[in-house]
Amino acid sequence: MASADLLRREEEFYSSLFDSAKGDGAKSRSQLIERKIELLEDMATKVSNRRSRKWMNDRLLIELVPRLHVEEIKGLFAPPPWGEEVPLSAFCRTSVGEWDAFRSIDMDAEARLMQHMKRSSQKPRNHVDEGELIALNAWHRIDRQTREAIKRNFLPDLLEIYEERVRAFIEDTSDKDVLMMNVQDPFQRLLLHGVCEFYNVTSTTTSSVRDGRPWKTTTIKKRQGTGVPSRITLVNFLRMKKNGSH
């Protein structure tokens, strides 16, 4: 059993634990807390019962933590749904009449409307996808080294000039079956070969001498499988890839 002195201390501690004004009106709150902590520490060393020691240790921790104000307690439960007000949903902001009209729509009319919206949304999307797919296949016809060169040093103005010449040659319905182009710069000639591969035409470069200097001539011919040029040009396709549209 606890001694009489310990019981007296415990009774004195209980009487002052939750009432800071009773018997301690002249003392400040900090002095009162220090006194309570001293009593708790002294009692914790003299009580042998495990449950009592646990209770005293818990009370000691409580005394060490300053009491929270109303706003601080509210802050512990700030996340919704306890603290801040939850914003109204779209359904709550919708007036009753509009919501009732939506709920009471005829099922047959709803089915026709959804089918019409589905068809209207699929038509342009499929058209775009088909054009992009054709351009993608044409892009993969170009060998990897040329593709890397085109992407690394993108020259849209020069590529558009080559594309205009090749597209006009493909769309020409006359008996002209050969297009001759004289491109002397090696890199620019590589770009020309890439454009020809994109539009599925053959391109061969031959060397000759003109005025005592080497001269390069690129001969472009249609293939048996050469068809209508892609709706999406090579320059437009590369810009789409750069912008993340494909």
Q: Which helix (H) or strand (E) holds 223?
A: none
Total domains, the chain: 1
Q: Are 84 and 78 a contacting pair, CB within 8 Å?
A: yes
Evaluate whether residue 195 is within a structural domain.
yes
Tell me how far apart the alpha carbons of residues 6 and 12 are, in angstroms, rounded to a whole number.
10
pLDDT at 235: 92
pLDDT band at 21 (very low <50, low <70, confident <90, very high): very low
Three-class DSSP labels, 154-217: CCHHHHHHHHHHHHHHHHCCCCCCEEEECCCCHHHHHHHHHHHHHCCEEEEEEEEEECCEEEEE
pLDDT at site 54: 74
22: pLDDT confidence band, cut at 50, 70 and 90? Answer: very low
Condensed to tens digits (0 to 9), the pLDDT of residues 127-178 reads 456 888 888 888 999 999 999 999 999 899 999 999 999 999 988 888 788 9
- Mean pLDDT of all residues in 41-52: 65
* Average pLDDT over the chain, rounded to an integer: 75
pLDDT band at 217 (very low <50, low <70, confident <90, very high): very high
Beta-strand relationship, 178-181 and 213-222? antiparallel
| Residue 213 falls inside a structural domain | yes
156 or 224: which carries more pLDDT confidence?
156
36 vs 145, which has greater pLDDT? 145
Q: Establish if 20 belongs to a structural domain.
A: no
Q: Is residue 120 part of a domain?
A: no
Range in 6-10, 157-161, 234-238 with the lowest mean pLDDT: 6-10
Mean pLDDT of the region 58-63: 67
Distance CA 97, CA 85 (A): 26
pTM tops 0.85: no
Is pLDDT at 82 greater than 50 in this prediction?
A: yes
- Does residue 187 lie within any of the structural domains? yes
Residue 197 CA to residue 177 CA, distance in Å, equals 16
Alpha carbon separation from 192 to 61, 62, 160, 200, 236 (Å, rounded): 81, 82, 10, 12, 16
**Length of the chain measured in residues:** 246
pLDDT of residue 187: 92
Is 211 part of any domain? yes
Q: What are phi and psi of 207, to 5 degrees?
A: -110, 145
Q: 47: exposed, middle or buried (C-beta count within 10 Å: 0-12, 13-18, 19+)?
A: middle
- Domain containing 177 — which CATH number? 3.30.1370
User: For 57-74, what is the mean pLDDT?
Assistant: 68
> Domain for residue 166, yes or no?
yes
Q: Which domain holds residue 217?
A: 144-244
How many Cα atoms within 13 Å fall on the side-chain side of residue 146?
18
Give the pLDDT of residue 36: 67
User: Per the domain annotation, does 63 fall within a domain?
Assistant: no
Check pLDDT > 50 for residue 18.
no
pLDDT at position 230 over 60: yes
